[in-house]
Structure 1
Amino acid sequence: MDRRTFVKATGVAGIAGLAGCSGGPSGGSDTETTEPSGDEADDGDDDGMETTAAETTESGPAANIGMVYATGGLGDGSFNDQAQQGVQDAEEDLNIAFNEAQPDEVAQFSTFQQQFAQSTDPNYDLVCCIGFLQADALSETAADYPDQNFMLVDAAVDPSNVANYVFKEHEGSYLAGLMASLLTTRDFSAGAGSTSGDSTSVGFVGGVESDLIRKFQAGFEAGVAAGNEDVDVSTNYTGSFNDPAAGREAATAMYNSGADIVYHASGNTGTGVFQAAQEEGKFAIGVDRDQSITKPSYADVILGSMVKRVDTAVYNSIEAVVNDNFQGGSAVQLGLEEEGVALVYGDSLGSEIPEDVADEVATARDEIIAGDISVPSTPQ
């Protein structure tokens, strides 16, 4: 999908940007890392902030962008890295400059949001807030800085200077559940994993239990039931998006209890799920990015990934800044129809997926888009 032309939901007025921003590309895209400057460091706490700026002509970058990532940080091969891909693509295509902040805990979201909003060197044209856990802090920050424009991923807040992007994770998770159900009830071997054929259990590992992550669980459970109503789903919320040891422990318990396949929606915690799959000779399903590529050492057990185009949301919000068409207070919904979510098969194992399974998953995708299948967004 071309991230510059993805379809917005019906009734959405527009995508995030900033009125008053000027210009298109004015220079190259080579980057360098510097320390934060200006009011970003007013409180003396600039840990986790890095600046990446494109080489520009005297006119400067087309826009300055602040990125506040979710807890778990960069390098997760999943949610945060997908968001970073969006701003990096915008840097290359649109000649913007950006600064990154990696909070270690929820309490730091407000600090970083305010540092970007207060900064005068540079002035930030847009602050991208990645993850639903930022919503409470952003509701207050956006109200306190009404002239600063923000975008938020995975939640929606009221201030008119915030553009919100939410995804239909349950739709993509349904396809993951359907695939898991169809495979666990047959003898199937590929890469380093296998199913026993007589399994009646698959697993779901979540990070922080919340309405958002329960959408993943709900869709997965519905897809599993559609494939075979006799297959149960074991669920474990670890309470963290950055605890691979907890993910490994949770998944190992599921595999030892008879599950052949575990799907995770837990950020970097999911790395532990992949570790457990390899150790037990079973399978896993990744999330947010194609994790068979971002976590290549586990590609031999990753059947597929439920990808979520956070990069698209970030890119288009920045493009709107550059194009001078900001409209805050909007909520963009992205599902299967808008290509905001999808099930992609693993880079190593995808060719091994039986044709009848792939065909049934493809049919289900079409039926969801057509409205013939209604996927629940809360667990039943």
Structure 2
Amino acid sequence: MRRVAKLSAACIATAALAVTATACGSTSSDNNASSSSSSGGAKGGIKIGLAYDVGGRGDRSFNDSAARGADKAEKEFGGSIKELTAKTSDTPADREQRLTDLAQAGYNPVIAIGYTYAPAVEKIAKQFPKTTFGLVDSVVNGTNVDNITFTEEQSSYLAGVAAALKTKKDHVGFIGGVDIPLIKKFEAGYVQGVHDTNPKVKVDVQYLSHGSDTSGFASPDKGKEAAQGMLDNGADVVYSAAGSSGNGAIEAVSGVKGAWAIGVDSDQYQIPGLAKYKNSILTSAVKNVDVGVYDLVQSVHNGKPLTGNNVYSLAKNGVSLATSGGFLTDIQPKLDAAKQKIVSGQIKVKTTP
């Protein structure tokens, strides 16, 4: 049985620091889904602390993938999960407080989902040397930190190959949540895959927010508008690397006959909340955050915590291209050939556009 609880928005009471009150107010989000508690795992089981990026559990993408890894570990090892979700209004102090609250409450490991937590993890991990921290999508120094990173550009390359082979208009699109180096990796791989397959295909690129504004990862309305603009401009395949904003893009694509959406992070064809659009989801560039999260929890459970930078690549099945729906069957041999060339090193996938 699994037991999931949200950390109370009320932090440790103290009148000394006004910033603490500010941080407390940001430790949960309206859309942070939390399952009801049951009997839980065995007493003394592992306590997993999850600090989600904006969107949280239920985003049908990045955070949900992390949640699956924690759920699997909790089911296997017993114990409990405590979840917190970031807001787009977060300050560095908010992220630090979120990690501090989890560590002080005895959660170990404490896993931060998303690059925005990098400075907080580097700082707070030093204050809790006996706690193992996980950081997804970024790398920081720390003897008790497991940096969980992925070769997103490789799965995105395969998505680009699929897009180039499926487009009937020689015109495709890419929507990024925020124009940061991490999402530029998705763009770079996708565009390279498209053009290596067919140089004549036009690729439209649009980002939903910029710099420190992370709203592009949690704005389905913006994703829908961006995708609709690309479709109106002639694109018939749209790949979104934009968290829950991509759900809006998928919705827009589903309304255009013959158009395809490419999902990200999770196999979005299989997501119940997107079921009514699944026949428009060509594939998804999957990032197995669940594997990284599970591996870390297992290592802590076994008393040999993972640390350093652990890279999950195409060769290690850390990233992949989903085949649900059978829409890739006719082009699968070409996709397999491209994958083999990447794994062997024959194709070097770019990480910047």
CA RMSD of aligned residues (A): 2.1
**Hey, what's the Cα distance between the residues in 2 that align with 1:279 and 1:78?**
21
**What's the TM-score once normalised by structure 2's chain length?**
0.87
Deviations 1:322-355 (CA, angstroms, capped at 9, x unpaired): 1000243x101111100000001243xx2x4352
Query: 1:258: which partner in 2?
Result: 234
Task: Please report how far the alpha carbon of residue 275 of structure 1 lies from its aligned counterpart in structure 2 after TM superposition.
Answer: 1.2
Mark the CA change 1:229 to 1:205 in structure 2 (over 3 Å): closer, same or farther. same
Per-residue CA shift, 1:343-379, capped at 9, x if unaligned? 01243xx2x4352x22111110011111111111111
Greater relative CO, 1 or 2 (CA 8 Å, sep 6+): 1
Q: Counterpart amino acid of 1:157? A: V
Paired residue type of 2:336: A
1:277 match: 253
- Structure 1 residue 47 corresponds to structure 2 residue 5: no
TM-score by length of 1: 0.81
C-alpha distance 268-32 of structure 1, shift in aligned 2 (>3 A) = closer
- 1:1-380 paired onto structure 2 within 5 Å: 29-31=1-3, 33=5, 36=8, 43=20, 45=24, 47-48=28-29, 55-57=40-42, 60-105=43-88, 106-107=90-91, 108-119=94-105, 123-184=106-167, 197=168, 199-239=169-209, 240-281=216-257, 282-294=259-271, 295-328=274-307, 330-347=308-325, 350=326, 352-353=327-328, 355=330, 357-379=331-353
Q: Give the CA deviation at 1:118.
A: 2.2
Task: Report the CA distance between 1:54 and its aligned residue.
Answer: 5.6
Asked if the contact 2:162–2:328 (Cα under 8 Å) also holds between the matched residues in 1, the reply is no
User: Taking every aligned residue pair, what percent have the same amino acid on both sides?
Assistant: 34
Report the 3-state secondary structure (helix = DSSP H, G, I; strand = E; otherwise coil) of the residue aligned with 1:300. Answer: helix
Distance 1:361 1:47, change over 3 A: closer
What secondary structure is seen at the aligned counterpart in 2 of 1:267?
A: coil
Cα displacement (A) at 1:209: 1.2
Q: Is the 8 A contact 1:90 1:96 kept in 2?
A: no
What amino acid maps onto 1:299 in structure 2? K
Q: Distance in 1 between matches of 2:115 and 2:4?
A: 30
Which amino acid is 1:206 matched to? Answer: G
Equivalent pairs, count:
328
- 2:184–2:351: 8 Å Cα contact kept in structure 1? yes
What is residue 187 of structure 1 aligned with on the other side?
none
Distance across 1 between alignment mates of 2:263 and 2:13? 37
Cα distance in 2 for residues equivalent to 1:32 and 1:378: 38
The amino acid across from 2:171 in the alignment is: S
Partner of 2:17: none
Distance of 1:103 and 1:231 partners within structure 2: 38
CA displacement 1:47-103 (0-9 Å, x = unmatched): 34868576345xx23211110001112211110011000111111111131100011
Give how far 1:296 is off. 1.2
**For residues 204 and 334 of structure 1, what CA distance do their matches in structure 2 show?**
23
Gaps of 5+ in 1: 1-28, 185-196
- Counterparts of 1:38 and 1:183 in 2: how far apart (Å)? 51
In 2, are the aligned partners of 1:54 and 1:97 still within 8 Å (CA)? Answer: no
SS in structure 1 at match of 2:110: strand
Does the aligned pair in 2 maintain the 1:82–1:288 contact within 8 Å? yes
The runs of at least 4 aligned residues of structure 1 exceeding 4 Å deviation read 32-44, 48-54
